[in-house]
Structure 1
Amino acid sequence: MICTIYSHQLGLERIKEILQSNITNAKISNVKDDDESDIIELEIKEGILSAAQKLVISYRERAIPSYQIPEIDDSALTANLKGLYGFVDSLPTVNEKVKDLFLQKILTLNCEFTITQEKGEVKDLKSILKNIANELDAVLFVQPDTVISKSNGQHFLDKNLDLIIDTEGNCEIENLDVKINSIYFDGDQSELTEDQMERKENNEKILETHNIKINRNLPCIESESETTLRTPKEIAQRVSILAVVNLVAFNSISPEEATDYLQNYKLWEFTTEKEKEFLANPTDDKKANESWKCEGIWVLMWALNKIDTLDFPNEFCDIENIDPDDYPVGEDKDPNIFIDSITAIRSKSEILDANDLYYRFNWACVDERINGREMEAINPGIVYERQYALNWLINYMEQDWDYITCDT
């Protein structure tokens, strides 16, 4: 194998076009292998008496192209990219800036193809590889002793075939472009509003203050003009149901009592299917998972102005610190009185500020986990649960409570 090429762009057909334009006398054929990679075979013969040359390219791409690596693998390539990220992150370097940019670029990669020279030596192969790399804004994982090698060990090259990093930490470039196709963003990042840019900048300063890793290429979340918050009544109903279910998680009431309570006060129809399944069979494991929803309750009570601040996510919230008069449920307490009393919530700007911050917190937590490190500055579980509730508040991707995703 000569190298493996990675790109954000999906490029099987473009690769074939480049090969055909550079090697006019090549016979190109396609096959599928057992792991469903696309195989391109090039048979090249310069003349009747010359020996044949053969290149084989094995191509695969992610099931869901993106600009980030999801927590749950969507393909074998995604799993490979997680390993690649960890490998690069472990390398020493003489240029931290380039290494950091390279790590950000790895998150955006959507396709991979290996190039193997099976027969003979293809004429102008270096030029062909450079043309492919330039066309796809690619990075290359290269073995030593090849036509494009720049190191005695395994190493990475940029689209110009210059050294990004090798196992000794060497580097011969000063910058590395990280380009992302706008179609993969949740919103169009080409026309950012002032509130989006200011929110991102302010929250990155918070991360910097606490020495939490920053992904400068993590995009902005939705603008205020693009966002429709949940209504005050929706939030009050949701937090009331969560509070009842949470009592079961902490063994304060039985699931039967909780079900009767929600039915008696006309909240059963707003209880989600997963919450109903939990109340029907609240095992110890399910109770442990449900107990984390304290952090979601805390976020929603903050949104309703019942608590002053979310506090830094390094310590668990304490629901008992909320004034009982401000809490929606309790013995002989009608939650609908609480629900009907809620007519306003925090501003869209405040809620989006928090959502953007927890989005960046969660990216840092995921980055640590991918690399086998423990996040010490903040608690990843608290961060996840709070981002979950914040995503619900801003109607992220119009997802219902049971199906909120915390993308990074």
Structure 2
Amino acid sequence: MICTLYSHQIGFDKIVEVLRSSYPKGTITSASQDGSQIASIETKDGFFSSGSKLTVQYRERKEPSYQLPETDDSPLTGNLRGLYGYVDSLDSNNEKVKSLFLHKIQTLNSEFSITQQKGQTKNLKELLQKLAKDFEAVLFVQPKTIISQSNEQHFLDENLNLILDINGNCEIEGLDVKINSIYYDKELVEITESQKEWKTNSEKILRGKHIKINNYLPYIEPEEGVVLRTPKEVAVRVCVLAMTNLVAFDTISNQEAIEYLQHYNLWDFVTPNEKDFLANPTEQKKSNESWKCEFIWTLMFALNKIEDLGFPDKLCSLNDIPAEEYPVAPDRDPNDFINSVFETKSKSEILGLNDLYYRLDWACVDARLNGEEMTAIHPGVVYERHYALNWLINYGEADWDDVTCDT
């Protein structure tokens, strides 16, 4: 393999057209294999020449975007996460360019590898230059090729200049990061002062705890674009979570929980995943469900039943919630709790927390990708609270079972 090109753009047909225009007398064949598209071009230099054969193997993300969402499980997205971690682990003599490169990796949507199968294709360097330019690509290049700029494996920009090699060498001063507007989930709007303040406050907290900051993480939604869950919705959700939590810790049986929820007319608010758990609460499912203490804790905080959410460096303790404030009990109608709730924390306060946990969650994901231990915060606690906060702000308009924590 000579090199692999990565691009924000997609288009196997575009690659074929470049091959056809570069080698009008060549013979092009295409095929599909294991989720990739393959184009091969064979050329002959003369009557007595055995000719040459060049192959391009292409694949793209299942859902082209400008970030790497956790919900995208396509092979290329997994590879890009690994690429991000690899680049992040490298030293660099230009941290600004490295930071831009990491940001660019998150926007990549396609990958195509160039391999010389036979002979030596003429004007190959010119072809690689054209593909790099046309796709505004970054290239992962092996040493000792016609475009190599290092004696080690390295990355080049669209002008075939050195972005970074494994020794930390960089020979450029900047790197363009462009995003096609069609990949945005929403129209670009002016950033509000509140959004800037949330980001600034969050980064100040991260800096104080010596937690890595990604300066290129976008702002979260402005207040005007968010509709919070109603106090009653939150209260009902807490009651259901509290019952499944009791089953998870073997405080009550699954059948007792089902009967309780049905008796008090809450069964219709139990999600499909929760019904699956209550139908067959295996030990593994109980272990998974026990983490939802953090959901309860976060939502109770949103309902003003807890004064301090606390920093996510340790697990919460539901025993710290006064018994009279807890939403469920054997001899208590949970609807009394639901009907006693009239307000939640302000939208601004919840969004400020959401911004913080968004950035904390990114730091946890980054540490995991780099094989590093996160000690300043508890990744599990961060994820569960981020999940609950995303549900509170109607992130992606997702139902409870379908909430995502994109970073």
TM bucket, shorter chain: over 0.9
Q: How far does residue 124 in structure 1 lie from its aligned partner after superposition? A: 3.5
- Map of 1:76-155 to 2, 5 A cutoff? 76-155=75-154
Q: Sort the Cα spacing of 1:285 and 1:36 in 2 relative to 1 into closer, same or farther, 3 A.
A: closer
Whether contact under 8 Å (1:62, 1:74) holds in the other structure is no
Q: How do 1:171-182 and structure 2 match up within 5 A? A: 171-182=170-181
Give the superposition deviation at 1:238.
Answer: 0.8
Which residue in 2 is equivalent to 1:384?
A: 383
Residue type of the partner of 1:2? I
Contact 1:29/1:41, CA 8 A, preserved across alignment? yes
- 2:32 is aligned to 32
Match for residue 203 of structure 1? Answer: 202
Structure 1 pair 21–233 and aligned structure 2 pair: CA distance change class (3 A)? same
Counterpart amino acid of residue 156 in structure 1: F
Contact 1:18/1:132 (<8 A) preserved? yes
TM-score normalised by length of structure 2: 0.92
What residue in structure 2 maps to residue 236 of structure 1?
A: 235
1:275 alignment partner AA: E
| Structure 1 residue ranges (4+ consecutive) displaced by more than 6 angstroms after TM superposition | none
Residue number in structure 2 paired with 1:7: 7
CA contact under 8 A between 2:390 and 2:405: conserved in structure 1? yes
* Preserved contact between residue 189 and residue 220 of structure 1 (Cα < 8 Å): no
Distance apart, 1:208 and its partner CA: 2.3
Q: Distance in 1 between matches of 2:49 and 2:383?
A: 62
Aligned counterparts of 1:86 and 1:232: Cα–Cα separation in 2: 40
Structure 1 segment 327-366 matched on structure 2, within 5 A: 327-366=326-365
Aligned to 2:269: 270
| Cα shift readout 1:160-188 (whole Å, capped 9, x = no counterpart) | 11111112221111222222333333333
| 8 Å CA contact retained: 2:38, 2:56 | yes
| Paired residues of 2:70 and 2:405 also in contact (CA < 8 A) | no
Query: More displaced, 248-257 or 231-240?
Result: 248-257
Task: State the identity %.
Answer: 61
Alignment RMSD: 2.2
**How far apart are residue 73 of structure 1 and its match?**
6.1
Q: Is the 8 A contact 1:54 1:118 kept in 2?
A: yes
Which residue identity is paired with 2:242? A
Inter-CA distance 269–98: structure 2 relative to 1 (3 Å threshold) = same
Give the C-alpha shift of residue 360 in structure 1. Answer: 1.5
What is the rounded CA distance, in whole Å, between the counterparts of 1:282 and 1:38 in structure 2?
Answer: 44
Q: Which residue of 2 aligns with 1:17?
A: 17
Q: Residue 176 of structure 2 aligns to a residue in which SS?
A: coil
SS of alignment partner, residue 4 of structure 2: strand
CA distance in 1, matches of 2:214, 2:65: 16
Give me the whole-angstrom Cα distance separating, in 2, the residues matched to 1:334 and 1:263.
Answer: 12
DSSP-derived class of the 1:67 partner: coil
Structure 1 residues 251 and 51, CA gap change in structure 2 (3 angstroms):
closer
Structure 1 residue 371: Cα displacement:
1.7
Q: Is residue 256 from structure 1 mapped to residue 255 from structure 2 by the alignment?
A: yes
Write the deviation string for residues 312-364 of structure 1: whole angstroms up to 9, x where unpaired.
11011111212223222224222211111111111111111111221221111
Deviation at 1:401, TM superposition (A): 1.2
| Structure 1 unaligned blocks of 5 or more | none
Partner secondary structure for residue 308 of structure 1: coil
Which shifted more, 314-323 or 88-97? 88-97
CA contact (8 A) 2:149 2:162 kept: yes
Counterpart code for 1:336: N
Corresponding residue of 1:296: 295
Distance 1:253 1:87 in 2: 47
> How far 1:150 sits from its partner (Å)?
0.5
The superposition leaves residues 252-280 of structure 1 with CA deviations (integer Å, 9 ceiling, x where unpaired) of: 22323322222222212212222223223
Displacement, 1:225?
1.6
- Summarize the Cα distance change of 1:186–1:350 in structure 2 as closer, same or farther, 3 Å threshold: farther
On the 8 A contact 1:233/1:340 being kept in 2, the answer is yes
In the TM superposition, residue 62 of structure 1 has moved relative to its aligned partner by 1.6
SS at match of 1:203: helix
In 1, the alpha carbon distance for the partners of 2:177 and 2:336 equals 53
Cα 1:274–1:354 change in 2 (3 A) is same
CA contact (8 A) 2:29 2:40 kept: yes
**Partners of 2:131 and 2:193 in 1: how far apart?**
38
Deviation at 1:148, TM superposition (A): 0.6
Displacement of 1:45: 4.2
SS of residue in 2 equivalent to 1:56: strand
Relative to structure 1, the CA distance from residue 189 to residue 215 in structure 2 (aligned partners, 3 Å threshold; closer, same or farther) is: farther
8 Å CA contact 1:11–1:136 kept in 2: the answer is no
In structure 1, the partner of 2:308 is 309
The Cα of 1:90 is off from its aligned counterpart by 3.0
Cα contact 1:295–1:385 (8 A) shared by 2: yes
Q: Secondary structure at the match of 1:378?
A: coil
* Cα separation, partners in 2 of 1:25 and 1:209, compared to 1, 3 Å: farther
Cα distance in 1 for residues equivalent to 2:287 and 2:69: 24
Distance 1:38 1:287 in 2: 43
Give the secondary structure class of the aligned counterpart of 2:210: coil
> TM-score scaled to structure 1, two decimals?
0.92
Instruction: Identify the range of structure 1 (383-392 vs 54-63) with the bigger mean alpha-carbon deviation.
Output: 54-63
Runs of 5+ consecutive residues of structure 2 not aligned to the other structure: none
Q: What is residue 404 of structure 1 aligned with on the other side?
A: 403
Shift of 1:48: 5.2
Q: How many correspondences in the alignment?
A: 407
**What secondary structure does 2:40 align onto?**
strand
Are the aligned partners of 1:187 and 1:222 in contact in 2 as well (CA < 8 Å)? no
The Cα shift of 1:69 comes to 3.0
TM-superposition CA deviations, 1:279-314 (whole Å, max 9, x none)? 232222222211111111111111111112321110
Contact kept in structure 2, 1:71 and 1:366, CA below 8 Å: no
